[in-house]
Amino acid sequence: TLRLICTTTEVQRKNAGASGPEKYTEAFIKKQIEEFNLGKRHLANMMGEDPETFTQEDIDRAIAYLFPSGLFDKQARPMMKHPTEVFPEQRKIQWGEDGRPFHFLFYTGKQSYYSLMHETYEKFLNVQKHQDQLAAEDLPLQKEKRNLAGSRWLTKIELEEMLLEKLSDDDYSRFIQLLQKLVALPCADIEESYIQKFSKELPVQLQEVVIEPLQYDEQGKAFSTGEGKRKTARATAVVYDNGTGKITVNGTDILHYFPVLQDREQLLFPFQFLGRIGKHDMVCTVSGGGRSAQAGAIRLASAKALRSFVTEKEVECMRQAGLLTVDPRVKERKKPGQEGPRRKFTWKKR
Amino acid sequence: MAAPSAAGLGRRLRAWLPRIMPVRWSRYNPSYLEPEVKKESYQKPLEELTEEEREQMELKAVRPIKAAPPTLSSSVFSDPMISKFTNMMMKSGNKVLARSLMSQTLEAIKRKQLEKYHKAPENEKETIECNPYVIFHQALKNCQPIIGLSNITRGGKTYQVPVPLTDNRKRFLAMKWLITECRENKHRRTLMPEKLSQELLLAFNNEGPVIKRKHVLHKMAEANRAYAHFRWW
């Protein structure tokens, strides 16, 4: 059985736009927008700035200055935002004055979802017809494989926002299956523009991290620093170029600081992976954690420092070997009513 | 209560929090992929890869990757099978002791094989295997059962039904049998490395109590062949 433990606002944020018919009329929203623009100009005048070039960031700064608040929750503090951000987009009333609904699928309950499914299936049949035509004329079918790794489908919340209607998990998975079937057909390039409405680009390379350039000390030796952590251990490493392969931890040699072979293997792992065992010197400081955690922290710190010495392809190889990710595993907390994080108390019959 | 991934609560891809927390969860977002530690797989030129491998490479370029665990390393000496066996031998988290026992076992195997090598006549010298890692892998392979038994209850009676085993299960059973054999059926004064090296050498030659246990299991499965249709998976 599954127990609800805790969720964040990200998951609890219901799509307010889909919750019901509109609570705010169009005229009301228009009036709010006018009031907002007027208020923006007044605020600009008060702060002594130009009303024409007053951006949202300037508004936020001005409000934080004029109404300082000590509340911890940022969303409880006074804010002045454009009405479209404050009042979520909602569906207009779906029926006319005589009570007759506008959309032909209104009585299904999920009109936008079903109309979307119908549209997508229509495109699917279109593509199949095109395929049959090409096969009849004996022309070769276009087989350019669409790059699946670079994009992802819309999430359920994003789709709900697009349709302004609540969806169930089942509905969402059916829609995604239909889209995947459509994409799998060879001639799907015709409907490319339609498919792009439902897919989002993933950041192509996960190399969003900036690699720092090498620094040079007084004697002209190149060095670079890196920081790493694992559980409660924090480590900083300074890797010097043109070295003999000596590694010093907190002033002592690694042979004396880490008597266990496994820890020394972890320290040498980044160097061995890049093939630079005898070429670099390292001086590290580490504190906190236990024996294995300190070794993991130094490994991460040295891998981060080595990024500046190495080509981009090798950095990508290091990332795929798992050397550059912070290990998020920490000790699980003890729960009340249990002896440990997982162990329950001994069951006694009476 | 600590939520699974505390980092980056604002971003949708990273902050994966299910509505209801299952009991078996991990600190990583499910989109994180397993790390590939071996150096050779990164040195292959692009042309030699098959379609699947190319897709895998593209996927790896976009997705985040989990951190390599402390037992895994790209050095020649780290072997995933040996690490698994060491973990199974470990008691109360004493990895240092387990690792030293493992290395003493491998040393003992090497010594025994070298003794045999130097005593053997010239023509037989090539057939004697001296590499302890090769002996370990071959012994484990020889101990793996092909088919297992599972309890299925029908009409009040529990039958032992022959069932195919997955690779993981086979490896686990082989290692478990070796360790229980060494812990229980030995003379009080013999040390673990000595007994383990003895068992591994016997298993390498398809003799010994572990191989016998595997054959017994196979015979039981063959005897209960009639109930094989009870299996529904």
Residues of chain A contacting residue B10, judged by C-beta atoms under 8 Å apart: 10
Domains and CATH numbers, chain B: 80-87+94-230 (1.10.455.10)
Q: Is the pTM of this model over 0.80?
A: no
Q: What is the dihedral of CA A229, A234, A240, A246, to 10 degrees?
A: -100
Residue with tokens 């993933």: A202
User: DSSP for A76-136?
Assistant: GS-----HHHHS---PPP-B-TTS-BSSTTGGGS-HHHHHHHHHHHHHHHHHHHHHHHHHH
pLDDT tens digits for range A113-129: 999 999 999 999 999 99
Q: Give the residue from A145, A178, A201 where a domain finishes.
A: A201
Q: Do residues B33 and A26 lie in contact, with contact meaning Cβ atoms separated by under 8 Å?
A: no
A:224-283 residues touching chain B, CB 8 A cutoff: 260-262, 265-266, 268-269, 272-273, 275
Q: Does residue A246 have a pLDDT over 80?
A: yes
Q: Where are the alpha helices (DSSP H) in chain B?
A: 40-43, 51-62, 80-89, 95-119, 132-143, 167-184, 192-204, 209-223
A277 is a domain residue: yes
Express as a percent the part of chain A with pLDDT over 70: 89
C-alpha pair distances (Å), A78 with each of A10, A128, A221, B21: 21, 55, 54, 34
What gap in Å lies between CA A339 and CA B142, rounded to an integer?
A: 42
Q: Does residue A208 have a pLDDT over 70?
A: yes
* Model pLDDT, residue A207: 67
Cα B219–Cα B221–Cα B223 angle in degrees, nearest 5:
70
Q: Does residue B100 have a pLDDT over 60?
A: yes
What gap in Å lies between CA A332 and CA A312, rounded to an integer?
A: 36
| Interchain CB contact of B16 with A (< 8 Å) | no
Query: Which of A240, A349, A350, A344 is closest to A302 using CA atoms?
Result: A240
* Model pLDDT, residue A113: 93
A341 is a domain residue: no
A268 is a domain residue: yes
User: What 3-state DSSP class applies to A299?
Assistant: helix
Give the mean model confidence (pLDDT) for residues B20-34.
Answer: 80
Contact check, Cβ <8 Å, B68/A328? no
Q: Give the residue from A139, A170, A201 where a domain finishes.
A: A201
Q: Give the residue from A58, A86, A114 where a domain finishes.
A: A86
Q: Rounded to 5 degrees, what are φ and ψ at B217?
A: -60, -45
Q: Does residue A6 have a pLDDT over 50?
A: no
A4 is a domain residue: no
A331 is a domain residue: no
Closest-CA distance, B41 to chain A, in angstroms, reads 10
Could you give the count of Cα atoms lying within 13 Å of B71 in the half-sphere of its Cβ? 13
Q: Do residues A99 and A26 lie in contact, with contact meaning Cβ atoms separated by under 8 Å?
A: no
Q: Is the dihedral of CA B143, B146, B149, B150 positive or negative?
A: positive
Q: Does residue A145 have a pLDDT over 70?
A: no
Contact check, Cβ <8 Å, A6/B1? yes
Pair A72, A132 in one domain? no
User: What 3-state DSSP class applies to A269?
Assistant: helix
* Model pLDDT, residue A5: 47
* Model pLDDT, residue A117: 94
C-alpha pair distances (Å), A251 with each of A179, A283, A288, A295, A310: 60, 8, 16, 15, 27
Pair A131, A159 in one domain? yes
- The better pLDDT of the pair A153, A22 is held by A153
Residues of chain A contacting residue B68, judged by C-beta atoms under 8 Å apart: 269, 321-323
Three-class secondary structure assignment of B87-135: HHHCCCCCHHHHHHHHHHHHHHHHHHHHHHHHHCCHHHHHHCCCCHHHH
| Interchain CB contact of B68 with A (< 8 Å) | yes
- The better pLDDT of the pair B60, A251 is held by A251
Q: Do residues A258 and A319 lie in contact, with contact meaning Cβ atoms separated by under 8 Å?
A: no
Which among A149, A268, A316 is the nearest to B59, CB-wise?
Answer: A149
Q: How confident is the model at residue A7 (pLDDT cuts 50, 70, 90)?
A: very low
What gap in Å lies between CA A264 and CA A254, rounded to an integer?
A: 7
Q: Are strands A247-249 and A281-287 parallel, antiparallel or unpaired?
A: parallel
Contact check, Cβ <8 Å, B2/A330? yes
* Model pLDDT, residue A22: 64
Q: Does residue A86 have a pLDDT over 60?
A: yes
User: What 3-state DSSP class applies to B222?
Assistant: helix
The helices-and-strands tally (H runs, E runs) of chain A is: 12, 8
Which among B6, B70, B95 is the nearest to A296, CB-wise?
Answer: B70
* Model pLDDT, residue B143: 92
Range(s) of the domain holding residue A237 = 215-321
Within 10 A of A231 (CB to CB), how many other CB atoms are there?
Answer: 18
| Interchain CB contact of A289 with B (< 8 Å) | no
* Model pLDDT, residue B130: 87
A5 is a domain residue: no
Pair A114, A192 in one domain? yes
Give the mean model confidence (pLDDT) for residues A270-276.
Answer: 90
pLDDT tens digits for range A32-45: 999 999 999 999 99
* Model pLDDT, residue A3: 47
What gap in Å lies between CA B93 and CA B105, rounded to an integer?
A: 19
Per the prediction, chain B carries an average pLDDT of 86
Mean pLDDT lowest among A192-206, A220-234, A276-290, A306-320: A192-206
Mean pLDDT lowest among A129-133, B12-16, B62-66, B128-132: B12-16
Q: Does residue B2 have a pLDDT over 50?
A: no
Q: How confident is the model at residue B4 (pLDDT cuts 50, 70, 90)?
A: very low
Pair A166, A232 in one domain? no
| Interchain CB contact of B6 with A (< 8 Å) | yes
Q: Is the dihedral of CA B34, B40, B45, B48 positive or negative?
A: negative
List residues bridging with B160 in a β-sheet. B151
Pair A315, A276 in one domain? yes
Pair A220, A295 in one domain? yes
* Model pLDDT, residue B201: 92
A150 is a domain residue: yes
Pair A230, A186 in one domain? no
Residues of chain A contacting residue B104, judged by C-beta atoms under 8 Å apart: none
What gap in Å lies between CA A235 and CA A284, rounded to an integer?
A: 7
Q: Do residues B232 and B163 lie in contact, with contact meaning Cβ atoms separated by under 8 Å?
A: no
- The residues near B227 (Cβ < 8 Å, ≥ 6 apart) are B152, B159, B160, B161, B162
Contact check, Cβ <8 Å, A330/B74? no
Give the mean model confidence (pLDDT) for residues B141-151.
Answer: 93
pLDDT tens digits for range B37-96: 888 888 877 776 677 888 888 888 888 889 999 998 888 888 899 999 999 999 999 999
* Model pLDDT, residue A204: 60
Q: Does residue A264 have a pLDDT over 60?
A: yes
B:109-138 residues touching chain A, CB 8 A cutoff: none
A44 is a domain residue: yes
